[in-house]
Amino acid sequence: MRKLWMIFSQAVTVFVAALFVVTTLKPQWIQSMPWRSNQPATVIAAPLANKPTGGLSGTPMLSFSDAAKRAAPAVVSVLTSSKEASRRGTKQNDPWFRYFFGEQGNQPQSGIGSGVIVSSNGYVLTNNHVVERMDDIEVMLTDGRKARAKVIGSDPETDLAVLKIELDRLPSITFGNSDTLQVGDAVLAIGNPFGVGQTVTAGIVSALGRNQLGINTFENFIQTDAAINPGNSGGALVDASGSLMGINSAIYSRSGGSLGIGFAIPVSTAQHVLESLIRDGQVTRGWIGVEPRDLTAEIAETFNLPLKDGVLITGVLQNGPAAQGGVHPGDVVVQIAQTPVANTSQLLNAVASLKPGEPARITVQRAGKVMALDVVAAQRPKASRNEVNRQQAPSQEE
């Protein structure tokens, strides 16, 4: 009996060893046996094809390459120069300058910015400050082609300009809807920072509706932490699908480089300016001739006003549209043509949207009474960039 038990245990040991070797080296033999056919199959997840993976977990990496490939060909470099600007800014008459630097001659002033091709027939949207006072403008595409550009029109009050180039097979960007943007949305800034060549930076929308920054007359900026540097001006701010959401315009910086606070003009504003400049060569806005000021708690208490929101009128142009409509200094404007106004920026935008020559209902608070006045807006006088800069004080005229 003992001998039989020894033979049985040795046979079992050999069988288990053989099974271990087969399952390790030839598992397909075990899976193909009839007694395995009724067992549930084991599913092993494989990485998705064409999706790069990163890290030890093998999870798909977040990539904006598709958005960049879609938008980047329509973003161009804008190279500018001006002999006239150089003559105005020359220091050749300064003897100390000539002593240290010698005779420089009338070398042209040059600059580098960015632009966005918005139509296949050659219209390019950029910043006004990129091309203002420049008499030689050249656009360079990502495929290496270059073309002279003509200024179709400019709007210093939004810092936008439209150029025209004559080239075939031009790529163009897809317009998005900036009104749907939310804080936290991913965005890409595409341009030519510091003239190093086209660069794509990524970030998020940090804030919306930024105004009263003293940059432009009409401000409604998208704020982003995507790196924007000198040379990015006029470039594209696009969403994760590559659609245009804004035109990069300015940065907040103490060093001249990006500090993570950049501002872009919403595409909703840019599209309106683009269409007006192509159609009329200028942007037509309403104007009523008043000097507005934000209504603060101290001002409301001083004038004994039962209001927290509104715009105080500190001055009215004699015989201007507002004066003819019955607006007086000391009035507090609370609404313009069905649009509530709570601060100076909102009043500027509301007045600008009025159609010149047509009456508009303006609601004001005067001496404790609410009054509705009909004012016929005139066309807003065209301002140069220097005038826009001077108008950034709180008493700017509207």
Residue 312: is it exposed, middle or buried by C-beta count within 10 angstroms (0-12/13-18/19+)?
Answer: buried
Which is the catalytic residue, given 129, 178, 239, 331? 129
Total residues found in the chain within this entry:
398
Of 122, 220, 109, 110, which is closest to residue 162 (Cα–Cα)? 122
Q: For this structure, is 328 an active site residue?
A: no
Q: For this structure, is 159 an active site residue?
A: yes
| Euclidean distance between CA atoms 183 and 56, whole angstroms | 31
The vertex-100 CA angle with 99 and 105, nearest 5°, equals: 75
Which is the catalytic residue, given 114, 154, 155, 159? 159
CA distances from 361 to 157, 161, 282, 336, 340 (A): 25, 32, 26, 6, 12
For residue 3, how many other CB atoms are within 10 A of its CB?
7
Q: For this structure, is 272 an active site residue?
A: no
Of 274, 195, 190, which is closest to residue 234 (Cα–Cα)? 190
| Per-residue burial over 30-52, b = 16 or more CB atoms within 10 Å of its CB, e = otherwise | eeeeeeeeeeeeeeeeeeeeeee
For residue 332, how many other CB atoms are within 10 A of its CB?
22
Q: Token pair for residue 51?
A: 């999706």
Q: Token pair for residue 344?
A: 């100076």
| Euclidean distance between CA atoms 112 and 196, whole angstroms | 10
The residue type found at 168 is D
Residue 267: is it exposed, middle or buried by C-beta count within 10 angstroms (0-12/13-18/19+)?
Answer: buried
Which is the catalytic residue, given 154, 206, 233, 345? 233
Q: Token pair for residue 53?
A: 């993976």
Alpha helix (H) residue ranges in the chain: 2-25, 27-31, 65-71, 83-89, 95-101, 128-131, 267-280, 297-302, 321-324, 344-352, 385-390
Residues annotated as catalytic are: 129, 159, 233
